[in-house]
Chain A
């Protein structure tokens, strides 16, 4: 009969090696250590005595790894107060990340703070010599994460902002539709960003019969698939375990995708 032995799930302690000021409202925390993961997988970030929250990894080269955070609440405020040398706990990685296609022509899309994991995905897709088109979108130029770095790495870059302060005024999905209309060959679309962007992306991809993966965000507590906090209505997919990266088809099987999610207590709130 089946056996029950697993390695303990507990945070490992790291010292903050370096803190990098990114676009307005973002900081990157650099740690020394080997973090083996797929782009899009996540870790749990523990500030002892405060709380633990899920974050994506924005860079990982085998010797160092980075976590890029946007200041949105008490926890990220505490992260922003961290200094080089401070100890934090990191647990994971968890979940399923992006599976880069064997085919060549990849469109990578990032919106807002979703550009953090997309940065690692770009690193990984580049290492596989893929023909990458990047479409990035943010509210405005000041908060545009990693734009210079990505522009340097990728030749085919499109940028959009809500106010037109950088790149085109408009949305990433509009660029995607234009590229498809123009007849650009796209084998796969990989996206992380606001849910409305992911929803539109998934719809466009399915309509045009293009393989697509999107990275969903839901409130998570256990990260190991047991508490039920992040379960998607309809499909029963556990975002922490079966996701966070899902195929467009899978994501679209849930009526809550693009529409609503659940809060701390499990009450329905707007996505």
Chain B
């Protein structure tokens, strides 16, 4: 078979990503250098660790454990606050202007979302991810906003009103009907959806210590175990909305990423996969995708988005 030209670029909300693999929020996204390393390791773009205005300590350790099928974490939205984040993004954009940066934001109330939304245009981030689905901060919010009907609409409207940047809303899998929430955020003006955040929370008990291992008892589940759920949710949401999707959940190989793209994702998030495949996972996945495209004579990623629906 003759070598053909493969185009891995993805135009997402008018922002060009050199390839469809992006770093998901929460992994290696604390500093400019850390994110630059992820880009050097092959990611098309990066999502920062979620930030609020004032910063936050997060939970004690153990915050991360793995089990035979995946990983649980209860970081609890540790971050150094908005000002710090703004500077790290500035630094990163200076070093890697060609790679899009998505700033992930959170708030524990509508007021907090409004405060940070007002400052978003001061940053050099290309896109905004609105995290309304962290399952690990139960002390502040009885439930993440993504799990309360009506709340996602209010958050989206508020953030949209206060920034010119396109917003991606990150949804929770821990709902009865993710499609209903997806339609709600689309209707409220969201520019895109990313799904899914971690599942659960789940729990692992150490049977010798006779107690949960994670410091706060439970934590969001990620990694290979949740991939089929994430693929199904992207598949269902793709059918229900017109806005573009970022597919996230347990992707560790090129095959997994292609699956997510065929389900309907334009970009594919990778987070826990760094643990399974090392930091080079981004390059590995891209290589595997290109190889598959070459073999199957597919010229661009766009041809594959939603292919499983046709």
Contact = CB atoms under 8 A, between A and B. Distances in A.
A90 to B, nearest CB: 11
Contacts of B298: none
B37 interface: yes
Contacts of A46: 61-62, 213
B253 interface: yes
B61 to A, nearest CB: 4
Interface stretch (A6-14, A21-29, A143-151, A175-183): A6-14
B31 interface: yes
B61 A1 contact: no
Contact of A231 (B37, B65, B288): B37
Interface in B4-36: 27-34, 36
A44 B33 contact: no
B154 to A, nearest CB: 28
A54 to B, nearest CB: 9
A228 B62 contact: no
B64 A222 contact: yes
Contacts of B204: 10
Interface residues of A, dominant DSSP: loop
Given A1-B253, A4-B273, A265-B79, A228 B29 contact: yes
B63 A221 contact: yes
Interface stretch (B144-152, B162-170, B275-283, B300-308): B275-283
B224 interface: yes
A127 interface: no
A2 interface: yes
Contacts of B206: 10-11, 13, 48, 89
Interface in A1-59: 1-4, 6, 8-11, 13, 44, 46, 48-53
A213 interface: no
Nearest to B223: A4
Given A10-B67, A87-B208, A228-B30, A50 B60 contact: yes
Interface in B230-287: 252-255, 271-277, 279, 284
B209 A236 contact: no
Interface stretch (B49-57, B98-106, B109-117, B133-141): B49-57
B33 A2 contact: no
Interface in B64-107: 64-68, 75, 78-81, 84
A62 interface: no
A11 B164 CA distance: 47
Contact of A10 (B65, B271, B276): B65
A141 to B, nearest CB: 34
A264 B64 CA distance: 15
A249 B143 CA distance: 49
Given A227-B28, A266-B79, A2 B36 contact: no
A264 B276 CA distance: 25
* Most chain B CB atoms below 10 A, which of A50, A231, A238: A231
A228 B67 CA distance: 21
A228 B32 CA distance: 11
A1 B272 contact: no
B68 A11 contact: no
Nearest to B284: A2
Contacts of B64: 9, 221-222, 224, 226-227
Interface in A55-77: none
A4 B31 contact: no
A267 B88 CA distance: 11
28 contacts: A2-B288, A4-B277, A9-B64, A10-B204, A10-B213, A11-B62, A13-B209, A46-B213, A48-B209, A50-B60, A51-B60, A53-B61, A87-B209, A89-B206, A91-B62, A221-B78, A226-B28, A227-B63, A227-B64, A228-B27, A228-B30, A236-B36, A264-B57, A265-B58, A265-B78, A265-B81, A266-B30, A266-B80
